[in-house]
Structure 1
Amino acid sequence: MNRTPFKPAILTALIAQAFASQAQAATDSVELDAQRVTGQLFSQNIAEQAFAVEVIDRADLQILPISNLADALEWVSGLDVRQRGSGGTQVDLGIRGAAYEQTLILVDGVRMNDPQTGHHNFDLPVTLEDIERIEIVRGPGAGQYGPNGNAGVINLVTRKQVDSENGRSALLKAEAGSKDYARGLLSLAKTQGNWSHFAAVSQQESDTYIKGADLDYISQQGNYRLVHQNDAHTTVAGLGYLDKGFGAQGFYAGADKRANENTIQRHAYLTHEQRYSGGRSVDVAVNWRQHDDEFFYLTYAPSVHQTNAWQSRLRFRLNESLALGYEFNQEDIESTSTLGDRHEREYGSAFAFGQFDFGAVQLAGSLSYLDYDGGDSYTLPVLGLTLPLAAGQQLYLNAGKSVRVPTMNDLYLYQINPVTNTGNQGNADLKAEETSSAELGARLNLAGLQTRLAVFKRNTSDAIDYTQTAAEVADPAINYYTARNIDAIDTKGFDAELDATGLLAASGLQKASLSYTRLIQDFTNQYEKARYSKSQLEHQLILSLAYELLPGLTATSLYKFEDRYDQNGYRIWDLGLKQQNNGWSWGLAATNVLDADYIDSGFIEAPGTGYRFEVSAGL
């Protein structure tokens, strides 16, 4: 089956789709991407973007040697995918040196960030196999989506229609690997007329990867979607459930401190878009997310948290150039580890988005007004400009403001060990983090060598970290950290990618990409100690390769070098082999084959060398 390859001018370090025709691939690969991004305030072609936008679609995910969303995002340059434990047990995602709390996570455009803590933002009740595409927005353009998108946005777009000849699909997958890793998946889907049904269940588990450490886990999830669509409208109703139990030793305290955690997420949402002539449309969204978190530390009684988040949104697209809307959110937490058992807040956001052509130059931007019930309000402008240079060549410039409000833990947490007097406590007087950022980028086709360049600057004032004053450091009775606003974090850097996929397609290479991200961060911290700020990347280099050994058989290689401000550089090399046939597939993956010794996040070592085998059958 002929397939259009990735348009590598704007896609970073992602494995390309298989080519049925190498000659056609070489021709297509030099064109700018014609895909549309629909998770923003306004639908727009990627090639017209004044912002840094990338897309991974389902066909690309199917040939990657991965089993979870975090592993898919490891292929994207400039993303700092930091995993505690193995198998995506807990994932923190930073973009261009920003904290994970400054990344907004969406599913079908609805908000999934957890009010309690960003550590749970990737507790997503959606299986990897059910994702149609992943939209990634980096830099100032993310400010269009509302709060907590200071550095970027990840929008997961689920499947909406079965594309088989009989309108039905079924997938049964089994995986096994080192440390007693096992995963099973059953996915069923059917399209009949204007109606589509999607249902999936999966279970994943593994033993500890460090002898004597409490790092085993088991995860169970299920989701269902009902879709009705025609030329005039699209309606989606979705339900999801996720239950994870895992050893959390070294996740939040020292590597020798035993801990266990269990989280449950329940999710329900409804979206409806009604389309009219002339590019006009109205869409509404209603979203509910409930998250339970039970944490056991050493032998003490568990801390128990439950958060609820409700979101409603109304948006009008007045024509091809202008959209207006309003979003309302309500969040609450009930917890045994906060100052006060229950806390809640509400906030609303009015926004406008426009895009206008002035000859060859395109101007796009948004203006949002964010208002919290506590009296705080923020005006967030975003502006972008696209300037064509020649056929297949573009410059773009953008700038904007964004805000990250404190989580419930930041504000109210009181989790201090009564024996050792260690731990963290919140601070109800915290201010929101405010970020101003700008980016200058280019998408170039240099004799078939796709090149993407970007330089950027981001300033975050009142950045939130857990700190100790000089007096607290000097007091032997105080060993805990308190959430406070540090003065500022200034980040400068650049992204560069060279993609030779089109040039080398005739030789069988399906992907040949080299990318590099450099970050320079200055911390203005008035406190003696800050616990987390200086753990960000300084250098990241990614070399991704894919080679079609035989028709349908692809070998993949992902090599990464990462260097952080608080630890020495490390090298990670992952290898994969995947065979896709009509109706079935098999794959073999080897991870961290160099057995690199490093800490990805928290205080516990990342897994060493591992392997995984998968086999699937579908209809």
Structure 2
Amino acid sequence: MTFRRYTLASAIVASMAASTVQAVELDTQQISGQLFEQNIAEQAFAVEVLDRSDIELLPVSNIADALEWVSGLDVRQRGSGGTQVDLSIRGAGYEQTLILVDGVRMNDPQTGHHNFDLPLVLEDIERIEVVRGPGAGQYGPNGNAGVINLVTRKQVDGRVAGIKLEAGSKDYDRAMISLGKTEGNWSQFAAFSQQKSDSYIRGADLDYTTQQGNYRLVHQNDSHTTVLGLGYMDKGFGAQGFYAGADKRANENTIQRHVYFTHDQRFDNDLRADIAINWRQHDDEFFYLNYAPSEHQTNAWQTRLRLRLANDFALGYEHNQEDIDSTSVTDNRHKRDYSSVFAYGQHDLGVLQLAGSLSYLNYDDGDSYTLPVLGMTIPFAGQQLYLNAGQSARVPTMNDLYLNQTANKGNPDVQAEETTSYELGLRFNLAGALGRLAIFNRETTDAIDYTRTDAEVAAGSAYIARNIESIKTKGLDAEVDISGLLAETGFLKASLSYTRLIQDFTNQYAEARYSQSQFEHQAILSLAYEIIPGLSATSQYKFESRYNQDGYRLWDLGVKQTFDQWHWALAATNVLGTEYIDSGYIEAPLNAYRLEIGAGF
């Protein structure tokens, strides 16, 4: 088994024919979720891919825990096991990260807290694509900081079937079954999982039960690929301390329904046309102190048409419609529509490569946004230098605009966040040690946060959604991977990464609830070692410090043994027993363990 983590650090000299350094073989895997398809090695942006073999080696059982292994991501979980997940990239707000499944939008119009309520089983994912920085702007709104695209399996050799049973501390248990079949041009996939735990905060129960299921029908041949996908998720959990103090009892239940259809038609003259139709419905019931629940239902429709010519030019149109029906927003119902047109192009100038996109968004309230993105790759001393810049926007959620609760209130006058980003990066290969280094700068004006004035603090008033003046973020991402150098000694993975953020908040209010909870430092040491053939061990040691919290250290360990038709695995999280707050007001669960037995993978 080989642990392969496709970072742009491994994409160094593919287009450097004039370089004096001997070229290395590069990754030819393609990014598929954006306006174009292109080899990772040719990207002018910060792109990373976790593929299926990586995920199978990691000691994880859900999408959120898998993303914890990607450097520079701030995966903040209320509870455990992906109960509720807020994901930040490079210090941006969690609602500035765009979530996609097979290239279609999954962000929730009510609140970004529900973006990871995904009707998708981890074992059914083929790869996870991560785009950081300005390159995310070409996906449209809500990608100010980055994009996560979850790509599902589309084809297998004949028939496959798998089952997993898991048990662990805090009354954790999980059962999963996955089926796949390819016959001729047709493929079908189905997967289901149920996960339970008595995760806790001190002195209070925080139980959760999550059920997820998905089905896909795929037809593909030389001329086209067509996918019909269905998904369902039902999750109930104790939400004590999620949005109010940890002494206030609360429970929440969310249900997600998802249907999407995509068709990619390929013509003989390098012309391609694809369409996508996507529907996402999300129900949310929140019980506070066991009173009558606040009930919310959102619907989001997406339709898209794209034309692509030889991967050098793309032109498209997208229309989105969002609505909310809620007992906790003013006037109970709201709806909005927005459309976008976009173009992408790339051009080679000898060893240089230019890439750029231009998107125009128009909302039914009259607001419009023009989002340019430009990138370039340049050979530099036998390595590869890239630069990019772009603009993006994050429109307010329905809660930001219309929420009407005792503790938190929306504001119909709140404006969209607008972000300008720049990045300078280097990918290098020094005697087999692969690395990447990026220096970036991002400024968000009219950043949205829940705020209180001095008078409102004194009166104990509600937090109100408002625009703070700006958040300026500069920092660096760095990673060195020496897996190749140590491969003969048994190491499948050996990397060290570091992210540093320096943020300047121009905030005219006494309190801003979320802005200053981002990390200042993050360092991750990731190791995977093959003890004997089929038996491997993993270790992740992480240090983080935040602007509103002292530094803390987390250490996760795992061991897995694989046989012909079955495997077993043991995972231990937070083995140091570190006390810290990951998100909200609650202390994260302490150390935990999990035993997994699976067959058919």
Deviation (angstroms), 1:33? 2.5
User: 2:325 aligned with 1:341, yes or no?
Assistant: no
Change (3 A) 1:380 1:350: same
Looking at structure 1, the residues matched to 23 and 410 of structure 2 have their Cα atoms a distance apart, in angstroms, of 51
Deviation (angstroms), 1:584? 1.0
Report the counterpart of residue 208 of structure 1 in structure 2: 199
Conservation of the 8 A alpha-carbon contact between 1:467 and 1:527: yes
1:175-217 CA-to-partner distances (Å, cap 9, x unmatched) read 0000110000111110000000001111000113335413100
Report the counterpart of residue 454 of structure 1 in structure 2: 438
Change (3 A) 1:482 1:80: same
1:337-390 CA-to-partner distances (Å, cap 9, x unmatched) read 001110000000000001110101000010000000000000000000001235
Match of 1:66 among 38, 60, 69: 60
Match of 2:291 among 297, 300, 306: 300
Looking at structure 2, the residues matched to 306 and 366 of structure 1 have their Cα atoms a distance apart, in angstroms, of 34
- The one-letter code sitting in structure 1 at the alignment partner of 2:397 is T
Looking at structure 1, the residues matched to 101 and 160 of structure 2 have their Cα atoms a distance apart, in angstroms, of 22
Match of 2:144 among 142, 147, 150: 150
- The one-letter code sitting in structure 2 at the alignment partner of 1:462 is D
Looking at structure 2, the residues matched to 601 and 278 of structure 1 have their Cα atoms a distance apart, in angstroms, of 51
User: 2:502 aligned with 1:531, yes or no?
Assistant: no
Match of 1:511 among 488, 493, 498: 493
Match of 1:495 among 473, 477, 485: 477
Looking at structure 1, the residues matched to 419 and 140 of structure 2 have their Cα atoms a distance apart, in angstroms, of 13
Report the counterpart of residue 34 of structure 2 in structure 1: 40
Match of 2:314 among 299, 320, 323: 323
Conservation of the 8 A alpha-carbon contact between 1:459 and 1:490: yes
Looking at structure 1, the residues matched to 440 and 307 of structure 2 have their Cα atoms a distance apart, in angstroms, of 32
Conservation of the 8 A alpha-carbon contact between 1:8 and 1:499: no
- The one-letter code sitting in structure 1 at the alignment partner of 2:511 is K
Conservation of the 8 A alpha-carbon contact between 1:214 and 1:259: no
Looking at structure 2, the residues matched to 235 and 498 of structure 1 have their Cα atoms a distance apart, in angstroms, of 39
Report the counterpart of residue 415 of structure 1 in structure 2: 405
User: 2:119 aligned with 1:125, yes or no?
Assistant: yes
- The one-letter code sitting in structure 1 at the alignment partner of 2:378 is L
Q: Percent identity?
A: 73
Conservation of the 8 A alpha-carbon contact between 2:63 and 2:122: yes
Report the counterpart of residue 229 of structure 1 in structure 2: 220
Partner of 2:95: helix, strand, or coil?
A: helix
Report the counterpart of residue 113 of structure 1 in structure 2: 107
Report the counterpart of residue 261 of structure 2 in structure 1: 270
1:566-611 CA-to-partner distances (Å, cap 9, x unmatched) read 0000000000001122221110000000001000000001010000
- The one-letter code sitting in structure 1 at the alignment partner of 2:541 is Y
Looking at structure 2, the residues matched to 354 and 401 of structure 1 have their Cα atoms a distance apart, in angstroms, of 17
User: 2:462 aligned with 1:471, yes or no?
Assistant: no
Match of 2:539 among 510, 535, 557: 557
- The one-letter code sitting in structure 2 at the alignment partner of 1:61 is I
Deviation (angstroms), 1:140? 0.1
With the length of structure 2 as denominator, give the TM-score of the two structures.
0.96
Match of 1:400 among 365, 390, 415: 390
Change (3 A) 1:433 1:575: same
In the TM superposition, 1:365-384 aligns within 5 A as 365-384=356-375
Deviation (angstroms), 1:299? 3.1
Conservation of the 8 A alpha-carbon contact between 1:30 and 1:448: no
- The one-letter code sitting in structure 2 at the alignment partner of 1:177 is G
User: 2:467 aligned with 1:480, yes or no?
Assistant: no
In the TM superposition, 1:178-193 aligns within 5 A as 178-193=169-184
Partner of 2:477: helix, strand, or coil?
A: strand
Conservation of the 8 A alpha-carbon contact between 1:278 and 1:320: no
More moved, 462-471 vs 75-84: 462-471
Looking at structure 1, the residues matched to 97 and 438 of structure 2 have their Cα atoms a distance apart, in angstroms, of 19
Partner of 1:77: helix, strand, or coil?
A: coil
More moved, 367-376 vs 575-584: 575-584
Partner of 2:400: helix, strand, or coil?
A: helix
1:316-355 CA-to-partner distances (Å, cap 9, x unmatched) read 0033310000000000000000011100000000000011
Conservation of the 8 A alpha-carbon contact between 2:4 and 2:53: no
Change (3 A) 1:466 1:294: same
Conservation of the 8 A alpha-carbon contact between 2:391 and 2:418: yes
Looking at structure 1, the residues matched to 502 and 218 of structure 2 have their Cα atoms a distance apart, in angstroms, of 46
Q: Which runs of 5+ in 1 are unaligned?
A: 13-27, 417-422
Aligned-residue Cα RMSD (Å) equals: 1.5
Partner of 1:411: helix, strand, or coil?
A: helix
Change (3 A) 1:94 1:4: closer
Looking at structure 1, the residues matched to 211 and 496 of structure 2 have their Cα atoms a distance apart, in angstroms, of 36
- The one-letter code sitting in structure 2 at the alignment partner of 1:581 is F
Deviation (angstroms), 1:279? 2.5
Conservation of the 8 A alpha-carbon contact between 2:271 and 2:309: yes
- The one-letter code sitting in structure 2 at the alignment partner of 1:324 is L
Looking at structure 2, the residues matched to 11 and 81 of structure 1 have their Cα atoms a distance apart, in angstroms, of 24
Looking at structure 2, the residues matched to 200 and 523 of structure 1 have their Cα atoms a distance apart, in angstroms, of 45
Change (3 A) 1:291 1:54: same
- The one-letter code sitting in structure 2 at the alignment partner of 1:556 is T
Q: Which runs of 5+ in 2 are unaligned?
A: 12-21
Report the counterpart of residue 19 of structure 2 in structure 1: none
- The one-letter code sitting in structure 1 at the alignment partner of 2:507 is N
Report the counterpart of residue 21 of structure 1 in structure 2: none
- The one-letter code sitting in structure 2 at the alignment partner of 1:519 is L
Report the counterpart of residue 443 of structure 1 in structure 2: 427
Looking at structure 2, the residues matched to 86 and 51 of structure 1 have their Cα atoms a distance apart, in angstroms, of 32
Match of 1:574 among 527, 549, 556: 556
Report the counterpart of residue 9 of structure 2 in structure 1: 10
Looking at structure 2, the residues matched to 521 and 214 of structure 1 have their Cα atoms a distance apart, in angstroms, of 36
Report the counterpart of residue 522 of structure 1 in structure 2: 504
Looking at structure 1, the residues matched to 575 and 292 of structure 2 have their Cα atoms a distance apart, in angstroms, of 40
Paired positions, count: 591
Looking at structure 2, the residues matched to 568 and 558 of structure 1 have their Cα atoms a distance apart, in angstroms, of 20
Deviation (angstroms), 1:277? 2.4
Conservation of the 8 A alpha-carbon contact between 1:160 and 1:227: yes
Deviation (angstroms), 1:451? 1.3
Report the counterpart of residue 588 of structure 1 in structure 2: 570
Conservation of the 8 A alpha-carbon contact between 2:181 and 2:187: yes
Conservation of the 8 A alpha-carbon contact between 1:563 and 1:570: yes
Deviation (angstroms), 1:11? 7.1
